């Protein structure tokens, strides 16, 4: 079994918006209350409450002490408690820090509810949700009829818009496609356009952040002259958040289309296993371009789309000297250690090489070698 989520933009009316805000606040309140309880038990030398015992405590103690919690979807409160338990588990396994209190102004506004008795449904122009009823939505796609709804997560973005992520469970058909060299693509990362493939084709990804930089600077300049915390300050913050969200949507839309195009044409894609966070630091001098590309998101999209079609994504080690090897003769040269050299002549065979295309061809060769060795 596999899971897949579809995200829909929703437009709740006034009553539904009020109920959403109540649910956001109540989930945050329960989360903080249970964090208080767990910390107090630890100070008293008592045993840590499991997530099931913590949920019972909420139902029998908190709901009686705070009656407004009875107006909220019970699954939303339960999932808030389970999220706190997940935070503790990650802390105990040394995968994250100690859980922190959630803030009304800084924490993400969201809640998750579970599917039961057809309380969640996707219509042509609406999404049916517990306590909200039918909420107007933009339904751009629907899941196959044999997919089962597991849960739905309602969230509000910084610009004030709402969205719901519906999680499905389905039986994944494990049909694999034979890997052929003709249907294999090698990609080399390029900071000025996302990637270059082994055929020399460049992605030429638009610079969405730079295109909106002037507009963003004007909005941020206006924010500087407003009183912090005032109504006008919050309105201006939403205007800025709207631009950021527009940029993120542009980037995600482009990456989805490009990754789908590649997954439909090729059964195997070979890429470098790069650490984009390290590449975005000040030492390289192109951090803004690196982050604007969204290369990590692009690789994740390629991975699951190729898997769904029976293909595979091969990640070549980041220390593999793809730029220093001539794909024609296989000899290594240190000429390309200078990043300013974009075209070079192999001193061994005399082949004129384009730096990025040659690297992509070497990545493809190494990826096919790794597949045959596995």
Which of 30, 10, 296, 27 lies closest to 166, judged by CA?
10
Exposed/middle/buried for residue 299 (C-beta within 10 Å: 0-12, 13-18, 19+)? buried
Distances (CA, A) of 338 to 305, 327, 333, 341, 344: 36, 19, 11, 6, 11
Query: pTM of the predicted model, to two decimals?
Result: 0.85
Q: How far apart are CA 125 and CA 299, in angstroms?
A: 32
Q: How far apart are CA 93 and CA 360, in angstroms?
A: 38
Which of 329, 326, 330 lies closest to 353, judged by CA?
326
Residue pair 127/118 in contact by the 8 Å Cβ criterion: no
pLDDT tens digits in sequence order for the chain, 374 residues long = 889 999 999 999 999 999 999 999 999 999 999 999 999 999 999 998 999 999 999 999 999 999 999 999 999 999 999 999 999 999 999 999 999 999 998 899 999 999 999 999 999 999 999 999 999 999 999 999 899 999 999 999 999 999 999 999 988 776 677 778 888 999 999 888 899 999 989 998 999 999 999 999 999 999 999 999 899 999 999 999 999 999 999 999 999 999 999 999 999 999 999 888 888 776 667 778 888 889 999 999 999 999 888 899 999 998 888 888 888 787 888 887 877 788 878 877 878 888 889 999 999 999 999 988 87
Q: What share of the chain is helix, strand, coil (3-state, %, to 5)?
A: 45, 20, 35
Task: List the end-to-end C-alpha distance of the chain, in Å, as a whole number.
Answer: 25
Say what angle helices 295-308 and 231-265 make with each other, to 10 degrees. 40
């Amino acid at each position: 079994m596999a899971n897949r989520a579809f995200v829909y933009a929703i437009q709740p009316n006034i009553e539904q918006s009020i109920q959403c805000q109540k649910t956001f606040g109540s989930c945050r309140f329960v989360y903080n209350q249970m964090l208080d309880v767990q910390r107090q038990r630890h100070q008293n030398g008592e045993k840590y409450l499991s997530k099931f015992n913590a949920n019972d405590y909420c139902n029998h103690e908190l709901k009686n002490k705070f009656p407004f919690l009875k107006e909220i979807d019970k699954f939303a409160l339960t999932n808030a408690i389970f999220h706190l338990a997940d935070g503790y588990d990650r802390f105990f396994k040394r995968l994250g820090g100690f859980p922190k209190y959630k803030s009304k102004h800084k924490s993400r506004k969201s809640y998750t509810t579970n599917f039961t008795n057809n309380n969640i449904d996707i219509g042509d122009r609406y999404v049916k949700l517990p306590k909200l009823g039918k909420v107007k939505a933009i339904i751009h796609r629907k899941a196959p009829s044999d997919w089962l709804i597991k849960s739905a997560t309602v969230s509000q973005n910084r610009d004030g818009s709402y969205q719901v992520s519906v999680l499905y469970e389905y039986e994944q058909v494990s049909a694999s496609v034979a890997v052929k060299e003709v249907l294999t693509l090698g990609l080399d990362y390029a900071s000025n356009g996302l990637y270059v493939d082994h055929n020399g084709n460049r992605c030429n990804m638009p610079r969405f952040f730079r295109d909106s930089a002037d507009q963003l600077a004007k909005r941020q300049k206006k924010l500087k002259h407003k009183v912090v915390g005032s109504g006008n300050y919050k309105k201006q913050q939403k205007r800025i958040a709207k631009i950021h969200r527009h940029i993120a949507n542009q980037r995600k839309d482009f990456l989805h289309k490009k990754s789908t195009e590649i997954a439909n044409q090729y059964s195997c894609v070979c890429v470098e296993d790069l650490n984009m966070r390290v590449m975005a630091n000040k030492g390289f001098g192109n951090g803004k371009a690196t982050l604007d590309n969204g290369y990590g998101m692009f690789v994740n999209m390629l991975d699951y789309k190729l898997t769904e079609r029976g293909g595979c994504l091969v990640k070549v080690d980041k220390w593999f000297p793809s730029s220093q090897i001539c794909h024609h003769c296989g000899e290594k040269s240190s000429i390309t250690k200078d990043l300013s050299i974009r075209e070079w002549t192999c001193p061994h065979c005399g082949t004129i090489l384009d730096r990025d295309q040659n690297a992509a061809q070497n990545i493809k060769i190494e990826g096919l070698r790794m597949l045959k060795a596995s």
